[in-house]
Chain A
Amino acid sequence: MSASGAWMVSLVLAPLLAASIALVVGRRSGPYAALAAAAAIVCSLAGLIGQLERHGAAASAVGGWGSPLGIQLHADGLSVLMLLMSALVGVGVTAYAWGYFGLARRRDEPFNAAASRARESFWPLWLFAWGGLHALFLSGDIFNLYVALELLTLSAVGLIGLANQRTASFAALRYLLASLVGSLFYLLGVALLYGEYAVLDCQRLLELVQGTRATTCALALMTLGLMLKTALFPLHFWLPLAHGNSPAPVSALLSSLVVTACFYAILRLWCTVFANAGTPGAGMLLALLGAAAIVYGSLQAICQQRLKMLIAYSTVAQVGYLFLGFAFLGRSASAVLAWQGVVYYALSHACAKGAMFLAAGSIMRSAGHDQLEGLAGIGKQLPVSVFAFGLAGMSLMGLPPSGGFVGKWLLLRAALEAGLWWVAVTILAGGLLAAGYTFPLLERALANRAEPWVARRVPRGMELASLVLALCAVALGLVAAQPLELLEIGAPFQPLASQEANP
């Protein structure tokens, strides 16, 4: 096995191994297992990036078994950027959860069965989800993609159910049903493709696929299933409740990583398997839904009274940006630029949204609630968290210097070059609407408070974790050249760009 292959395997196996240890040993091993996994992931990712920079995109058949039986791993610029995102947010959330759940029950804390169950179950579930994410980003064939998706969503369902509330179990159940339907659609699509071409490998499919009726069906089914999992408007119904009621680290993971991972699956399918089958009309439909999501999600977010629901609706809106890239199908010149913008936007959105949910969690811990009305003067209590929230908001609004700005800059540039005016206007309007839901909290943070605070202590590590993630979102706006160079490895969007050449 090549060096890059070893790094890829280690990226997938490290969290899964740690999850098994946390599950089997139980009790207090979880946080330490996660710490070890995080260290292993960071090292492996650094190793993988080093290999890819030298040798270009890599593929590896695990254990020497080629397709269709074995597990085919594949890494190019797109997967690396997604892995980078998962490492950044994953490490941040792990650090945060360390303080959020606490290593053990404090002496002065009364015994609470639910809290201690959440404290123990969080770690294995999160580590399984982390492994699932990495498997998804590195999958080279559509069936492994399915397995990774299942691993990811099932752990996510478990994570949502951690909160000890009726709404949480309801939300978890709804998410479970939605994502099972999504998986079913996806699997049907896989079956159709396999029936048609007898191949599961993405790169092989790219060469074979033609616009037959079965292929079109598979394309529609798989995209629809994944749209449901990505919560693209109007299939977002499950998201706000699930993301708005989970424990803070879980909300952060779901909104920043899980949703983006499902989007990654769509993108990967469209720019490999279906590069020659996806029509500009279908792409335009997806982009229009994205634009609708931006407007609808933002307006809903502005109307929310609860901070976490507000952030959850903001995710509905931000997912819309990712789909704007589909408007560029069949416009070879600007398509690559647009997809670079989309991927960069996804990366910075993940950091910003993670930071936002984590900051909201600290605020909720301190104030005991997250009703916006009652948060006047919070800036004096939790200056670091509020600052983190503000920085993250800056990235979501797309104001410079931030990763969100770079993403929007690239997308806007592509839109103007392609003459897609409605895309440009949507992007700008979305930024203004984002200000509309970011500033209510900041305004209250700066307001005077008449009545005194009864604030609970928040571990310093929680506040810092959210700040670091927010700073990552800002830093992405300052060092954009290097990640964008990474994205070029293996030219992941080439099949889309050369689409016109071989219709």
Chain B
Amino acid sequence: MSWSQCLPLLVVASSLLPGIVIFFLPEERRSWRTTLNLSGALGKIVLVALMLWGVFQGERFVVRYSLLPNVEFRLHADPLSLLFVTLSATLWLLTTIYAIGYLEGSPNRSRFFGFFSLCVAATTGIAVAGNLLTFLIFYELLTLATYPLVVHRGTTQSLSAGRIYLAYTLAGSAALLLGVVWLSSFVGTPEFIEGGYLDEVDPRHQGSLVRIFALMILGVGVKAAIVPLHGWLPSAMVAPAPVSALLHAVAVVKAGAFGVVRIVYDVFGVEFCSTLGVTEPLAMAAAVTIVYGSIRALYQDDLKRRLAFSTVSQVSYIILGTAVLGPLATLGGIVHLVHQGVMKITLFFCAGNLAEALGVHRVSELNGVGRRMPWTMAAFTVGALGMIGVPPTAGFISKWYLAMGASAAEEPWYILVLVVSSVLNACYFLPIVYAAWFKQPAGPWPVDQRAGRLETKLSLLVPTIATALLVVGFGLLASVWFSPLGWASLIVEREYQR
């Protein structure tokens, strides 16, 4: 095994090792911690770039190790894993910068950044997992590593949010475990492969396969917040802003959605799924979630809660795209994995900036905030327009391909769902944008912290603007080969080769 074969392992280690070291750093070693965090994040990006180049050249990186007799621990890098790894590595770097600024002066930072790095290591592991067992290992690790972050503030409210989070996610993992073990009793745990590996299974077992599919989707659906498994997400918004970014954009919800994509495409195979007749219910669940999440978002006054329900709705776009048969819908779903990430992280960064600089948490307090924090609100506006799907933002690209996919699959209902959801998106985002730019502030802000001439700390502002630029950039440059869309079409080509 040459050194380049180890790349998937190194990518996981690049956030695992700094995390472990950070745990042992005393609280006051601020510069050490920052150096470790940033060098881990930058190192990871370099490693990911190397892998991207390799995979683009057609190389396939594999790390394998026999965990049990006949059961392998397997990491590999295929285009789909790289899409997710690149997303999480980029956003991790930005979130780390943001978190360093956001948590400055607050207690328990070593603990925070330790678990933060573990979280990203687990996410990377999920992305490069080469079979279901490996996926399961990292998926559970993610649950455990996120818990201390959700309860980071240590208040009664955050502890109860943590309890809810655990109740949902652990129950989900039990379902996933059962599904994985059951499936492995038929076919073992082979490698993920485009088009799935279940064609050979005796047709008599189709009933069992349907149940296995349901169990596995239940398991990953908890993290992907499919209604009615979404209850933990809105309550987890009590966590600090960088954690919300992690939950909603970098790691947790994404891991769930990525899991659905993996299971549908690389375990069952999308064509086999539709033979089993399981895509239809999955698409229905996604459609219900999209509309339900948007409607609930309308009624939330707490900004982060509104964003949380918006995530519930947006993540199911990915699942809808996955469940509708046909390359265009798949393309829309997979590319939304990236687009939703950058859009939602922008919005959460903005919400964090507002809370940090002005102590503003509610939508009703946002009147005139655009004049006080123009950069933040500009970024927010870009993110919101992206969510609604206005061209030339990234969100438009996703919705365009999803709608094309739905019409190609002759499922006009789903186009209607997309339209309704976009209208609802506009209904809950545009009033915020309007109030921020055009209304008069009601009075002085609850707190007002400026950082010199800037509206807030530079470390909070830079990541926010960077992600907002990505939202526009991914939309404008969608047709270039290295854009998320370009990469996603590479994945789709491979999925539909067979």
Contacts and interface: CB of A to CB of B under 8 A. Distances in A.
Contacts of B108: 380
B151 A413 contact: no
A413 B185 contact: yes
A417 B111 CA distance: 43
B177 interface: yes
Contacts of B152: 446
B137 interface: yes
Contact of B136 (A400, A413, A435): A400
Contacts of A429: 174
Contact of A481 (B67, B147, B154, B173): B67
A455 interface: no
B230 to A, nearest CB: 20
A406 B68 contact: yes
A448 B154 contact: yes
B159 A443 contact: yes
B285 interface: no
Contacts of B174: 428-429, 431-432
B31 interface: no
Contacts of A416: 181-182, 185
Interface string B134-153: 00110011011001100111
A428 B178 contact: yes
B57 interface: no
B10 interface: no
Most buried by A among B23, B152, B181, B185: B181
Interface string A358-383: 00000000000000000001011001
Interface in B162-193: 162-163, 166, 170-171, 173-174, 177-178, 181-182, 184-185
Nearest to B137: A400
A480 interface: yes
Nearest to A397: B170
A399 interface: yes
A431 B141 CA distance: 15
The bracket for how many chain B residues form the interface is 20 to 34
B66 interface: yes
Contact of B67 (A379, A442, A446, A480): A480
B155 interface: yes
Interface string A83-115: 000000000000000000000000000000000
A383 B115 CA distance: 13
B181 A401 contact: no
B444 interface: no
B177 A412 contact: yes
B58 interface: no
B170 A484 contact: no
A81 interface: no
B151 A446 contact: yes
Contacts of A390: 144
Interface in A461-503: 478, 480-481, 484-485
A2 B252 CA distance: 57
A447 interface: yes
B312 to A, nearest CB: 24
A417 B166 CA distance: 30
A412 B66 contact: no
Contacts of B143: 399
Contact of A424 (B163, B170, B178): B178
A377 B107 CA distance: 12
Given A400-B141, A428-B178, A481 B155 contact: no
B140 A412 contact: no
Contact of B148 (A394, A424, A446, A485): A446
Contacts of A432: 170-171, 174
Most buried by B among A387, A399, A442: A399
Contact of B166 (A410, A439, A446): A439
Given A447-B154, A481-B69, A399 B166 contact: no
B67 A443 contact: no
B159 A447 contact: yes
Contacts of A435: 166, 170
Nearest to B184: A413
Contacts of A428: 174, 177-178
B155 A448 contact: yes
B68 A400 contact: no
A413 B140 contact: no
A274 B437 CA distance: 83
Contacts of A484: 68-69
Interface in A159-196: none
Contacts of B155: 448
Contacts of A387: 23
Nearest to A399: B140
B68 A417 contact: no
A431 B176 CA distance: 13
A478 B72 CA distance: 11
A379 B56 CA distance: 46
B181 A413 contact: yes
A409 interface: yes
B163 A443 contact: yes
Interface in B16-49: 23
B67 A394 contact: no
Contact of A401 (B66, B141, B153, B171): B141
Contacts of A413: 181, 184-185
A446 B148 CA distance: 7
Contact of B68 (A377, A397, A424, A481): A481
Contacts of B153: 448
Interface in A405-428: 405-406, 408-410, 412-413, 416-417, 424, 428
Nearest to A406: B68
B68 A443 contact: no
Interface in B55-95: 66-69
Contacts of B140: 399-400
Nearest to A391: B144
A452 B321 CA distance: 54
A338 B171 CA distance: 24
A199 B137 CA distance: 49
Contacts of B141: 400-401
B20 to A, nearest CB: 11
Contacts of B173: 399
20 contacts: A377-B154, A380-B108, A383-B23, A383-B111, A387-B23, A399-B143, A401-B141, A408-B177, A413-B184, A432-B170, A432-B174, A435-B170, A439-B166, A443-B151, A443-B159, A446-B151, A446-B159, A446-B162, A448-B153, A481-B68
Given A400-B136, A413-B185, A432-B170, 16 more contacts: A379-B111, A383-B111, A390-B144, A399-B140, A400-B141, A406-B67, A412-B181, A428-B174, A431-B170, A443-B163, A446-B152, A448-B153, A448-B155, A480-B67, A480-B68, A481-B67
Interface of A: 377, 379-380, 383, 387, 390, 394, 397, 399-401, 405-406, 408-410, 412-413, 416-417, 424, 428-429, 431-432, 435, 439, 442-443, 446-448, 478, 480-481, 484-485
Interface of B: 23, 66-69, 108, 111, 136-137, 140-141, 143-144, 147-148, 151-155, 159, 162-163, 166, 170-171, 173-174, 177-178, 181-182, 184-185
Those 10 A-B pairs whose CB atoms lie nearest each other, nearest first: A448-B154, A400-B137, A428-B174, A412-B181, A399-B140, A416-B185, A447-B154, A446-B151, A481-B66, A417-B185
